Chain A
């Protein structure tokens, strides 16, 4: 059989070992599988609306109905002020921004559990899955965003006192931060849920509760001083606030807190990828 000595045989293209070092993250491999990520995004998009009559209209119906509900409940019944901005516009801006975060987090946090059958049969970089989820949610965010712009233009035309500021240029950066936060939290949770399922239950209502700790249905200016520190510790707060400032032209951008969100996102993503990378190798045995 093999007569060569081991010394001459060391040009293996791959060696599978029980444990690899914590920081051995292969992002190059992810790039090689970029076609797969595109295919997953396409699949999500196509499969979501097969056999529906309204198709992609559902992207718009969901934030629209939520906005109407918020206008009635929080605006008219509870009477929470909206910084002088038309209620519809105020809520919808918050909802569209928040929605992208919550869908990213919810969907990616199920990565291992939902895809156990496919992960159990074939290898590809597992990160391809959550990344494709974030991208396909970006598509729905884009559609909702365009819809929101439509509303904004309507309100400007009828002469309401709203005007997007120069901060609009920050929006791509904000979207990146939202995606990063959603992905970061999502992959950490999905890694932990392979062993301890408790988190699944926490996530579903936790995300809803989280929204109330973020200035989506109320403006930052309405928060009592003693809660301010708590709300500001939430990395989503500066993002949603800046998002509103950019589109609606109220308040000013607090760059310090935005920097905090950025730092938070970077650290979270790094930790998330490390944990995910460690879990992906043997999660099939415990999931």
Chain B
């Protein structure tokens, strides 16, 4: 049976802008007089939302009327741009600071991991720091003792537990710190960006640990810019924008809404000498019709027109394909087809057509970047300029059960038995 363990009710948080300490006395007095004469706080502005570049008054709302609730065993991903209010939300929940209005109701013990290694003292040994850090995170001495071996084992620094942590490499430091935190047994675990550090193997271990925490019925709140990790770990998400909660729902809806919002805002990034310049580009189907989606397993074409501004020996043309987590998935170049683009005269225009066969990336959203250049430098590079979607269709995937979203590509196979 699931039970509501966290509930935010009209929670807002206001911060003061500028240099705190100048004029605070007069503000305090203003506020004080307003309060004793029964008026509304004059420094609280109404309706000013958090636009970081708009300074309307000296106060800013980092969070505005946040309402949501979370059941036990749920893993919530908090997604949003820098300054959207993610950290403020976690800070309120972990009781680092109090809300300006509203109430946060919580059931059970909270452990927050806003930073790994909080309170680690460089002069103390690994062992001493395990006890210190555990106590800071709210464990009793007995709890730490009973888990000590497990913690050391998980961190993988057992050889160095009697060495001061100032001699540790940064990776060891983080692993030890995370190991302590991972062995907390709170009902609610709050995690902020800790996975940004540590090698791939450790990140995997950390994610696995958090998954097992949630499987044992505990609730996890997770903030990260690593959308892949968020999608792997979370079941539910909320999207914050300028301090307000704009969307709440299943994690994949949240992350795709977030990606859409962030692509539209960015202008195309373009760089290069422009000795040869890309004039136009498009994605078409085999019949030449412009498209922005293909079925898995289908063929399609990328056409690009360019003009040489100067006489040029040769140029190469490449396409980089990235997925919506900005992971580099595919790379195509004319050289692989032994195709050459040579002896371009000044003013000469060319139109290239690249046929891509049997698209086999996993269904999802992808971005193509175009690059023109040779070994001496980049002529023209346009980042993520073609956005397209691969739809599942029935060419490759025919299973009656859902496709596992963790897979990055789909391989065509034929089966037999003897």
B98 contacts the other chain (CB 8 A): yes
Known: A14-B105, A15-B105, A195-B21. 19 other contacts (CB 8 A): A2-B4, A2-B69, A11-B107, A14-B106, A15-B106, A16-B93, A35-B139, A36-B136, A40-B132, A118-B118, A122-B94, A122-B114, A123-B95, A123-B110, A123-B112, A124-B138, A195-B20, A285-B97, A286-B24
A-B contact pairs, 13 of them (CB 8 A): A11-B107, A14-B110, A15-B103, A18-B98, A18-B100, A19-B98, A42-B132, A43-B128, A50-B164, A122-B136, A123-B94, A282-B98, A286-B16
Interface members, chain B 3-17 (any A CB < 8 Å): 4, 7, 15-16
A146 contacts the other chain (CB 8 A): no
B135 contacts the other chain (CB 8 A): yes
Q: Scan B89-119; emit 1 where CB is below 8 A from any A CB, else 0.
A: 0011111111111111111111010110011
Give how many A residues have a beta carbon under 8 Å from the other chain's beta carbons: 41
Q: List, in ascending order, chain A residues with CB within 8 A of B105's CB.
A: 12, 14-16
Q: List, in ascending order, chain A residues with CB within 8 A of B371's CB.
A: none
Shortest CB distance B190–A (Å)? 10
> Are A2 and B99 in touch, CB under 8 angstroms?
no
Interface size class of B (residues with CB under 8 A): 35 or more
* Bound complex: CA A33 to CA B135 (Å): 8
Shortest CB distance A207–B (Å)? 23
Shortest CB distance B168–A (Å)? 15
A155 contacts the other chain (CB 8 A): no
Q: Scan A35-56; emit 1 where CB is below 8 A from any B CB, else 0.
A: 1101110110011001100000
A228 contacts the other chain (CB 8 A): no
Q: List, in ascending order, chain B residues with CB within 8 A of A13's CB.
A: 106-109
Q: Please name the 10 residue pairs, one residue from A and one from B, whose CB atoms are nearest each other, closest first.
A: A123-B95, A36-B135, A16-B104, A39-B135, A50-B123, A281-B98, A12-B105, A35-B141, A121-B118, A284-B97
Q: List, in ascending order, chain A residues with CB within 8 A of B118's CB.
A: 118, 121-122
Q: List, in ascending order, chain A residues with CB within 8 A of B137's CB.
A: 122
A226 contacts the other chain (CB 8 A): no
Shortest CB distance A32–B (Å)? 8
A201 contacts the other chain (CB 8 A): no
Q: Which of B93, B102, B119, B128 contacts A18 (CB 8 A)?
A: B102
Q: List, in ascending order, chain A residues with CB within 8 A of B101's CB.
A: 18
What is the chain A residue whose CB lies nearest that of B131?
A39
* Bound complex: CA A35 to CA B142 (Å): 9
Q: List, in ascending order, chain B residues with CB within 8 A of A281's CB.
A: 97-98
A77 contacts the other chain (CB 8 A): no
Given A11-B107, A39-B132, A286-B20: A16 and B92 within 8 A (CB)? yes
Q: List, in ascending order, chain B residues with CB within 8 A of A51's CB.
A: 123
Q: Scan B377-417; emit 1 where CB is below 8 A from any A CB, else 0.
A: 00000000000000000000000000000000000000000
